[in-house]
Structure 1
Amino acid sequence: MEKNIFVIGLDDFHLQHIRQVRHVEDYTFHCLLTSEEAISIERYPFDQMLQEAESRLKGFPGSVDAIIEHWDFPSSTLLPILSGRFGLRSPSLEAILKCEHKYWSRLLQQQVLPNLTPRFCAVDPFDDHALEKIDLPFPFWLKPIKSFSSHLGFRIDDENDFRHAIERTRQGIRRVGDAFNDVLKYAELPPEIAEVDGNHCIAEAIASGLQCGVEGYSFRGEPKVHGLIDTVKDAHRWSFTRYEYPSVWPEHVQQRIIEASRHLMAHIGYDNGAWCVEFFWHEDTDELAIVEINPRISQSHSDQFIKVEGASNHQVVIDVALGREPEFCMNAGKYRTAAKFLLRKYNDTVVTRVPDKEEIDAVQSAVEDSLVVLQVQEGMSLSELRNQDSYSFEIANIYLGAQSQRELVDKYRTLAQKLHFEFADGMPVEDIQFEWVKY
């Protein structure tokens, strides 16, 4: 019998990725809250979203065999609550929050991997004396306890930077913070965590270097790893410009972050779900630092896994949700390397022209297995884009595969140069991709 698998925030684009798994003929995929209802909305009415999702599941005429997700909050926290109510396999809500709540997560990282955990402290952005209470020297990072895509994340080099960041934070933090507080009501929190709610921030010592994500899963109490993805920043080291698979880090460093990830996830007590732990590696000192933990696979990595492994990373979450040990990493794809590139612009302006369908079709036809997904529309201001980092704006996502890293970057440049955008400031999209060579 076919298994009914419900996907939180499903849309047609990501359904194409989800269907690139083995035994797909045995599954029927159902949307549980559309992307418009769960992802691209101004506010997140969590209790209402939870009630609506539960009602749809109860009204489904067939069996509910699994619930999965591949997005950040609030999908990640809807999953364990709904799974618990329907007797399905998933991580516990508390385990999810130990990853998502940045302060709680840092406390746990510090317990088990102190040498890999940057110094940190909680910050109340609505406290007029907050800066005096931060026991870190400049420079440091200031981030909300819960956000995504580096939204409202600021590097603080001096008191003026802090004042600017706090003003921006006070204006925008409640969009996610209030909804995160709604989730915290469903969990049993230690007193020291209950005091640091979703409208708090965390200050962290600066960690730098190359960045890599360890994607893995925990099944029957054992954490395992199925892929390492390099998260490449631009030449300014401000914004992400591509997610490249597989990692080109030296093998000995890859093994260190794999073991650290497994040790950390076991300490958290995370089970029956996928996760991703991100690291910095400083080439000169060989030092590692944990960036953050995401309690999910990333939909931004799915196309790369398809191109290299021959199956989407959704294979992992489907297998675990159905109570099976995943069988992944087959090297059965068409390419040896693949990436999702993020074409960016670094100042706010109005979009006056985007590539039309014929233009996109032409560039995709010229580069085999390429895909261009626009993130902007003609007439919009870039500041209208939601969930952007504090330094740039995503113009388009470009998905590519190749047989080498050099070929991959060359394909990107060839394709990107043929996409004709225009902006009110008269300036083109700046190409500041940061290139690596293999070690």
Structure 2
Amino acid sequence: MESDKRNVFVVGLNDTNRQRLERLRGAESCRFHGVIEPAAVYNTEVFDIAAMLAEATAQLEAFDGNVDAIAGYMDFPVSTMLPILCERFGTRSPSLSSLLKCEHKYWSRMVQREVIPQHIPNFTAFDPFDDDALTRIGEAGLYFPFFVKPIKSSGSRLGFRIDTPEDFYQAIEHLRADIGLIADPFNTVLEHARLPEEIEAVDGHFCMAEEIIGGWQCTVEGYVHDGEVVSYGIVDSLRYPQVLSFFHYRYPSGLPDPVQAKMLELTDTVMRHIGFDHSAFNIEYFWDEAQDRIWLLEINTRISQSHCDLFEKVDGISNQQVTIDLALGQSPDMPHRQGRYAVAGKFFHRVFFTDAVVTRVPDAAAIKALEKAFPGTVIALQVEAGQRLSTLPEQDSYSFALAYIWMGATSVEQLLDNYDRLVTQLDFAFDDIEG
């Protein structure tokens, strides 16, 4: 009966993800409801957290029925809002403090250093509005080259490799201009938490400087259910040659088995220490093959939405299964290697301009024809004709993503060959090209 269905509320639910959710195991016993319009959390850089929390609370209070679960699968601001909403309505989620021990990058590094110090880089926090910041970074034992990023960032935005003082001061200009877009709403979240004194002094306007780490990058997808840490897949993150921009994500990982096993051990250690529970997470790692050393890059308190299609193609169901099952308080019913393809990838079709105006994009018929020619392929354009690239939100500091392309194949070689053949048929054009 319809009245027996459990009501699952998803922050920023859009049509694509509703379709994925309705394909999950047990979906027939759920009704999925959106909370906050997708436009408020997608394709924007302005987040009024207080207003969004008030809006979500009003929507949930006005619902005529049980609120059985509140879930999300997005990064900031959704991930940081969920514990606050779930506490208000008595649904399952991690504690806000355990979530912030993952998402507040300085606090996270401090906690990681307590249990896996040999697997994290040297780091320090600094105030980008401090004119002596570079001197203070040096006093903390960090020297060129190093990497800087905000205490709370989204994607690779406002992350910079620093090789010279000139690089640092250029990065500082960008950080001072734009850091408030995330820092101000993140500080709203911090006001809801009890923070240790040394963490309270490092608010959302601060940045991190870290020793350069690198190697083969990957992401461990996992969850914690009633204190048990479970890792169910490792996705490789492969970059374009000589730049920091991602080329594609690939699943399953091609890392050696002993390296994968060590990453799972580290994951178990750090997530137990943090006290994170009742939720999905993913942890990004590097494997430095030359030194045979594993580095923990960062912890995210959600599934990676970019990986949903990859798990569906290879394992048979989106890893949103984990998000929904945990929000309902049940052990995730996640299959393994029951999908149509042996390997899958999400590709980022990019241009490496400083800026430009898009004058032509592939039309709907061309996209449909390509998806038909390469079965299992999904193409999502990220630009439209007339758009200036610099207006795109959530871009890294070196390129612009024109399209996301998900593909499946029987082998890595076939996957890469199919992508190379497809991308030559995507018809984009530009004007006013800079850089």
User: Which residue in the other structure is 1:284 paired with?
Assistant: 290
CA distance in 2, matches of 1:364, 1:281: 34
Moved over 4 A (4+): none
Residue 425 of structure 1, CA deviation? 5.2
Q: 2:329 aligns with which of 320, 323, 327?
A: 323
CA distance in 1, matches of 2:213, 2:392: 28
User: Which residue in the other structure is 1:78 paired with?
Assistant: 81
1:147 matches 2:153? yes
1:67 matches 2:70? yes
Could you list the per-position Cα deviations for residues 91-130 of structure 1 after superposition, in whole angstroms to 9, with x for gaps in the alignment? 0111111111000001111111001010000010000111
- Which stretch shifts more, 408-417 or 177-186? 408-417
**1:122-133 counterparts in 2 under 5 A?**
122-133=125-136
**1:213-292 counterparts in 2 under 5 A?**
213-292=219-298
Does the Cα contact within 8 Å between 1:14 and 1:299 map onto a contact in 2? no
CA distance in 1, matches of 2:54, 2:365: 43
Could you list the per-position Cα deviations for residues 199-237 of structure 1 after superposition, in whole angstroms to 9, with x for gaps in the alignment? 100000000101010010001111111111111111124
Alignment CA distance shift 1:329-1:228 (3 Å): farther
Does the Cα contact within 8 Å between 1:309 and 1:332 map onto a contact in 2? yes
Secondary structure of the equivalent of 1:207?
A: coil
User: Which residue in the other structure is 1:93 paired with?
Assistant: 96
Q: 1:110 aligns with which of 113, 120, 126?
A: 113
Instruction: For structure 1, list consecutive stretches of 5 or more residues without a partner in the other structure.
Output: 428-439
Look up the equivalent residue of 1:164 and give its one-letter code: Q
User: Which residue in the other structure is 1:361 paired with?
Assistant: 368
CA distance in 1, matches of 2:20, 2:257: 29
Does the Cα contact within 8 Å between 1:213 and 1:277 map onto a contact in 2? yes
**1:411-426 counterparts in 2 under 5 A?**
411-424=418-431
CA distance in 2, matches of 1:225, 1:314: 14
1:24 matches 2:47? no
Residue 41 of structure 1, CA deviation? 2.8
CA distance in 2, matches of 1:404, 1:57: 46
Look up the equivalent residue of 1:199 and give its one-letter code: H
**Alignment identity in percent?**
48
User: Which residue in the other structure is 2:414 paired with?
Assistant: 407
User: Which residue in the other structure is 2:18 paired with?
Assistant: 15
Could you list the per-position Cα deviations for residues 173-194 of structure 1 after superposition, in whole angstroms to 9, with x for gaps in the alignment? 0000000001000000000100
User: Which residue in the other structure is 2:5 paired with?
Assistant: 2
Residue 198 of structure 1, CA deviation? 0.3
CA distance in 1, matches of 2:372, 2:323: 32
Does the Cα contact within 8 Å between 2:25 and 2:333 map onto a contact in 1? no
TM-score under structure 1 length normalisation: 0.96
1:38 matches 2:45? no
Look up the equivalent residue of 1:309 and give its one-letter code: D
Look up the equivalent residue of 1:270 and give its one-letter code: F
Could you list the per-position Cα deviations for residues 328-373 of structure 1 after superposition, in whole angstroms to 9, with x for gaps in the alignment? 1332110011111111111121111100111111111100011110
Q: 1:56 aligns with which of 59, 63, 67?
A: 59
Residue 426 of structure 1, CA deviation? 7.0
User: Which residue in the other structure is 2:350 paired with?
Assistant: 344
Does the Cα contact within 8 Å between 1:20 and 1:306 map onto a contact in 2? no
Secondary structure of the equivalent of 2:270?
A: helix
1:393 matches 2:396? no
CA distance in 1, matches of 2:250, 2:336: 18
Look up the equivalent residue of 1:204 and give its one-letter code: E
Look up the equivalent residue of 1:20 and give its one-letter code: R
Instruction: For structure 2, list consecutive stretches of 5 or more residues without a partner in the other structure.
Output: none
Alignment CA distance shift 1:169-1:426 (3 Å): closer
Say how many residue pairs are matched: 428
CA distance in 1, matches of 2:313, 2:15: 19
User: Which residue in the other structure is 1:432 paired with?
Assistant: none
Does the Cα contact within 8 Å between 2:356 and 2:433 map onto a contact in 1? no
CA distance in 1, matches of 2:74, 2:30: 20
User: Which residue in the other structure is 1:436 paired with?
Assistant: none
CA distance in 2, matches of 1:283, 1:424: 42
User: Which residue in the other structure is 1:120 paired with?
Assistant: 123
CA distance in 2, matches of 1:359, 1:426: 25
Does the Cα contact within 8 Å between 2:357 and 2:433 map onto a contact in 1? no
Secondary structure of the equivalent of 2:183?
A: helix
Could you list the per-position Cα deviations for residues 370-421 of structure 1 after superposition, in whole angstroms to 9, with x for gaps in the alignment? 1110000111111100111111111000010111111111111111111110
- Which stretch shifts more, 105-114 or 320-329? 320-329
User: Which residue in the other structure is 1:435 paired with?
Assistant: none
- Which stretch shifts more, 17-26 or 265-274? 17-26
CA distance in 1, matches of 2:427, 2:44: 29
CA distance in 2, matches of 1:10, 1:358: 26
Secondary structure of the equivalent of 2:36?
A: strand
Does the Cα contact within 8 Å between 2:45 and 2:394 map onto a contact in 1? no
Does the Cα contact within 8 Å between 2:11 and 2:34 map onto a contact in 1? yes
Does the Cα contact within 8 Å between 1:38 and 1:49 map onto a contact in 2? no
Does the Cα contact within 8 Å between 1:276 and 1:295 map onto a contact in 2? yes
Residue 39 of structure 1, CA deviation? 3.0
CA distance in 1, matches of 2:23, 2:271: 27
Secondary structure of the equivalent of 1:293?
A: strand
CA distance in 2, matches of 1:393, 1:70: 23
Secondary structure of the equivalent of 1:349?
A: strand
Look up the equivalent residue of 1:183 and give its one-letter code: V
Residue 319 of structure 1, CA deviation? 1.2
